[in-house]
Amino acid sequence: MKKIILLGMLMVSAATPALAISRYNSMSMTCAEAKATINRERAVIMRYPAKRTPNMTLYDRYVSDSDACDNGYYAEQDYLPTKDRPSCPVYVCRPTTDLDDDDLIFRR
């Protein structure tokens, strides 16, 4: 009986899709392609060369909107270098503790 349950659990776990996040090189994409990829997958890792040290590679997670962020985080606009633009506007997740109290507007 235990073997049947174990076999069933193994089959179910093998059938579920992997929850891996895709990784891309932003310098091989145009700004429109990078934005479309981010929006299609909701969250991706983009790598790109550092400005001050070109042989150093930087990585960051870019999201389509705040729904792709964890609880306690929100989507904030950031910029990503791409093949056709040095600063392509995209979104990254930031903790809500980074919000300035002056930026918050409470409505009744």
> Residue 102: pLDDT band by 50, 70, 90 thresholds?
low
Q: What percent of the chain has pLDDT over 70?
A: 72
Tell me, what's the pLDDT at 54?
78
> Residue 12: pLDDT band by 50, 70, 90 thresholds?
low
For the segment 35-41, the average pLDDT, to the nearest whole number, is 97
For the segment 54-78, the average pLDDT, to the nearest whole number, is 95
For the segment 79-97, the average pLDDT, to the nearest whole number, is 96
For residue 37, which phi and psi values (nearest 5 degrees)? -65, -45
Distance CA 66, CA 29 (A): 23
Tell me, what's the pLDDT at 28?
97
Q: Which residues of 12-28 are buried (b: 16+ CB within 10 A; e: fewer)?
A: eeeeeeeeeeeebebee
For the segment 76-101, the average pLDDT, to the nearest whole number, is 90
Tell me, what's the pLDDT at 15?
46
Closest CA to 26 of 17, 14, 35, 18: 35
Sign of the alpha-carbon torsion through 92, 94, 96, 99: negative
Q: Residue 61 belongs to what H/E stretch?
A: strand 57-63
